[in-house]
């Protein structure tokens, strides 16, 4: 998870970019921070999906087979 200071810096730099007053160095910093943010977001989202169980209205487990396989592999490695 990205700390609040980095998220605030992303927002500050994005506002500067929008206003047209961003420097090349700041633009590079913004790109790096956004890359880090997306990496953390994707990792967190992947973990959430891998730990999800899908149940239909009748109570049947309809979790996709790909997710079930990932969950089974994780349990073997634990």
Q: For the segment 40-74, what is each residue's pLDDT rounded down to a tens digit?
A: 999 999 999 989 999 999 999 999 999 999 889 88
Helix, strand, or coil here: 56?
coil
- Structure tokens of 40? 């953390």
Domain boundaries 4-77, CATH class: mainly alpha
Q: For the segment 5-38, what is each residue's pLDDT rounded down to a tens digit?
A: 999 999 999 999 999 999 999 999 999 999 999 9
Single pTM value for the model: 0.74
Please give the DSSP secondary-structure letter assigned to residue 3: -
> Left (φ > 0), alpha (ψ -120 to 50) or beta: where does 59 sit?
left
């Amino acid at each position: 998870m990205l700390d609040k200071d980095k998220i605030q810096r992303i927002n500050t730099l994005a506002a500067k970019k929008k206003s047209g007053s961003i420097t090349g160095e700041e633009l590079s910093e913004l790109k790096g921070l956004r890359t880090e943010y997306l990496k953390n977001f994707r990792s967190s989202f992947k973990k959430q999906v891998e730990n999800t169980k899908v149940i239909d209205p009748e109570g049947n487990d309809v979790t996709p087979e790909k997710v079930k396989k990932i969950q089974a592999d994780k349990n073997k490695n634990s």
